[in-house]
Amino acid sequence: MKNETFSGTQAAKVVAISYRQLDYWARTDLVRPSGTDATGSGSRREYTYRDLLELKVIKNLLDAGIKLESIRDVFAYMREHVDTDISSAHLVISGSSVVLCNGEELIDVLRHGQGVLNILPMSGVRDEIDRHIIEMRPEPIVLQGERETPGSKAV
């Protein structure tokens, strides 16, 4: 599963965004495909599973009413400060700083927080993506002793 990639169109579909949004976000450096970037008309972008997680986070934040401009700031911060896997328990955004918290830490943050907090539980993000990847795939062909992995280039 680690090396599988998704085309731009597939990624947009899995994450439930328009291709236009995906393209715009890639062109404006919010999330560029970390597999292969576009090199011109007719070329192919290759998004990794991790890219999909990021895209889904963005989608969820947008749906929650957060401005894309703010999401850019959040991602910039995370790229500099947050090393761990973004699928940890809760993503907590306070101003332009971001932390990843488990349940107890989250309660602390709440007790001491002063401004507006944006809290995104990450637990469902991976599940959502996996579900859409499965939906996207044709009926799987049962191979001898091996199942095809989602997003395989054979799609």
Partner DNA sequence: GCTGGAAACTACGCGGGTGTAAGACGCTAC
Partner DNA sequence: GTAGCGTCTTACACCCGCGTAGTTTCCAGC
Binding site for DNA (CB under 7 A): 7-10, 18-21, 23-28, 38-45, 62, 67-69, 72
Q: How many CA atoms lie within 13 A of 40 on its CB side?
A: 0
Find, among 155, 148, 149, 129, the residue nearest to 56 by Cα: 129
In sign, the C-alpha dihedral spanning 35, 60, 30, 103 is: negative
Contact 89, 100 (CB under 8 A): yes
- Which of the choices a copy of itself, DNA, none does residue 42 contact, using the CB cut-off of 5 to 8 A by kind? DNA
Q: Which of residues 103-132 bind a copy of itself (CB under 8 A)?
A: 103, 106-107, 110-111, 113-121, 124
Give the DSSP letter of residue 5. E
- Which of the choices a copy of itself, DNA, none does residue 116 contact, using the CB cut-off of 5 to 8 A by kind? a copy of itself
Using CB under 8 A as the criterion, which residues of the chain lie in contact with a copy of itself when the complex forms? 60-61, 63-67, 69-71, 73-74, 93, 95, 103, 106-107, 110-111, 113-121, 124
